[in-house]
C-alpha cells in the first residue's frame, strides 16, 4: 500500500427506503482510494450517489456496510463525539447548499471551524481575511449570509473549508453557482491546497473542471468506475 494513501472506502453500501418496498441503492459496493495532494473529480448524473459518497467518506453519514479508513483506523464505528473532533481536525467540507451559519458574518463563518483553539484570535482573523481576499469578497467580510448573493455565500463556504488546512476537502458542486471566472478562481485555490498536501474530492456535473483533475471517477446508480 502506498504511504500517500490517506483515505480508503471499502465495499461501501448505502441504501434508502422509499415507502416500505422500494429500495434505492445510493452506494453499491463502492471501493475508492484517495492519495494526499491530489485533486479528484467525481462525475455522475443527478441522483447517482455523489453527495452520499462524500458524506460517508467524511464521516458525516454512516454506510450500511463497508469501511472508511483514515490512516489505518476505520471511522465507521466511531461515536459522534469522536467523529466531530476528527472532522474538525482533518476534514473541510463545501456543501452543495453551503450551510453557512446565518447569525455569523462572512468573516465569522470562515473563522468558526478554528474554535475552540490554541491559536491567537488575531492570527485567526488574519488567516480568515486573507482567504476572503483570495476568493474576492474581502469587502463583504462583515455581511451576514442573508446579505450575500448565492455565489458570494459559496465563496465564503470555500474559504471556511480551507481555513483549518485540512488533510482532505470534500467539495459538493463548489462551482455550481459561480460564473466561469469565479469558478476558475475557486478551482485554482483548491488546486493550490493540493500543493500543501491536501487531498480534494470534487463532485460536479461540469466537464470544464476536468483540466484540474489528477484523477476522475464516475458514479452511476451508486456504482463507481
Ligand atoms: N435521506 C434520503 N432519503 C431517501 N433517499 C435519499 C436520501 N438521500 C439521498 N437519497 C437518494 O439516494 C440517491 C443518491 O442521492 P445523492 O444525493 O447522493 O445524489 P447526487 O449524485 O448527489 O445527486 P445531485 O447531483 O442531484 O446532487 C438518490 O436517488 C436520492 O434520491
Ligand atoms: Mg448531490
pLDDT higher than 70, residue 2: no
Ligand 1 binding pocket mutation candidate from 51, 172, 223 (most atoms within 8 A of CB): 51
Ligand 1 pocket list (CB less than 6 A): 16, 24, 26, 44, 46-52, 96
Distance CA 37, CA 39 (A): 7
Burial class from Cβ neighbours inside 10 Å (0-12, 13-18, 19+) for residue 50 reads buried
Contact 76, 68 (CB under 8 A): yes
Identify the residue with better confidence: 101 or 85: 101
Q: What's the average model confidence in pLDDT over 192-209? A: 94
The pLDDT assigned to 88 comes to 87
pLDDT score at 19 = 84
Helix (H, G, I), strand (E, B) or coil at 142: coil
**pLDDT recorded at residue 179:** 86
pLDDT of 115: 86
Question: What does the pLDDT read at residue 98?
Answer: 85
* Range from 19-23, 62-66, 98-102 that averages highest in pLDDT: 62-66
The reported pLDDT for the residue numbered 118 is: 81
Q: Select from 30, 52, 96 the residue to mutate for testing ligand 1; criterion: most ligand atoms less than 8 Å from CB.
A: 52
State residue 116's pLDDT score.
81
Among the listed ranges 20-24, 136-140, 211-215, which one has the minimum average pLDDT value?
Answer: 20-24
Write out the three cell numbers for 189.
485555490
What residue's CA is closest to ligand 1, atom 3? 16
pTM score, two decimals? 0.92
How many angstroms separate the alpha carbon of residue 46 from the centre of ligand 1?
A: 8
Mutating to test ligand 1, I would choose from 15, 23, 24 the residue with most ligand atoms within 8 A of its C-beta, which is: 24
CA 78 – CA 102 distance, rounded (Å): 29
| Structural domains of the chain sorted by starting position, each given as residue range(s) with its CATH number in brackets | 35-62+78-218 (3.40.50.300)
Higher pLDDT, 11 or 181: 11
**pLDDT digits over 145-200, tens only?**
999 998 899 899 999 999 999 999 999 999 888 888 888 888 998 999 999 999 99
Mean pLDDT of the residues in the chain: 93
Is residue 1's pLDDT more than 60?
Answer: no
111-130 tens-digit pLDDT = 999 888 788 899 999 999 99
Pick the residue whose CA is nearest to atom 29 on ligand 1: 47
Please tell me whether residue 90 adopts helix, strand or coil conformation: helix
Closest CA to ligand 1's atom 4:
16
Q: Which spans in 39-139 are helix H?
A: 50-57, 80-90, 106-111, 121-134
- Give the angle 61-32-167 at the CA atoms, nearest 5°: 70
Amino acid at each position: 500500500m502506498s504511504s500517500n494513501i490517506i483515505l480508503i472506502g471499502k465495499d461501501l453500501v448505502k441504501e434508502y427506503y422509499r415507502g416500505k418496498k422500494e429500495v434505492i441503492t445510493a452506494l453499491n459496493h463502492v471501493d475508492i482510494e484517495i492519495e494526499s495532494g491530489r485533486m479528484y473529480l467525481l462525475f455522475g448524473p443527478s441522483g447517482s450517489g455523489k453527495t452520499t459518497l462524500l458524506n460517508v467518506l467524511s464521516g458525516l453519514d454512516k454506510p450500511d456496510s463497508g469501511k472508511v479508513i483514515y490512516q489505518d483506523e476505520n471511522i465507521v464505528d466511531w461515536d459522534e463525539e469522536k467523529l466531530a473532533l476528527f472532522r474538525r481536525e482533518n476534514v473541510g467540507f463545501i456543501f452543495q447548499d453551503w450551510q453557512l451559519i446565518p447569525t455569523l458574518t462572512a468573516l465569522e463563518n470562515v473563522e468558526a471551524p478554528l474554535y475552540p483553539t490554541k491559536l491567537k484570535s488575531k492570527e485567526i482573523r488574519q488567516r480568515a481575511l486573507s482567504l476572503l481576499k483570495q476568493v474576492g469578497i474581502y469587502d463583504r467580510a462583515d455581511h451576514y449570509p442573508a446579505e450575500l448573493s448565492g455565489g458570494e455565500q459559496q465563496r465564503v463556504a470555500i474559504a471556511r473549508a480551507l481555513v483549518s488546512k485540512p488533510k482532505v476537502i470534500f467539495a459538493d458542486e463548489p462551482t455550481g453557482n459561480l460564473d466561469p471566472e469565479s469558478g476558475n478562481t475557486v478551482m485554482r485555490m483548491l488546486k493550490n491546497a493540493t500543493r500543501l498536501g491536501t487531498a480534494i474530492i470534487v463532485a460536479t456535473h461540469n466537464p470544464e473542471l476536468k483540466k484540474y483533475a489528477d484523477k476522475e471517477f464516475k458514479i452511476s446508480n451508486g456504482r463507481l468506475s
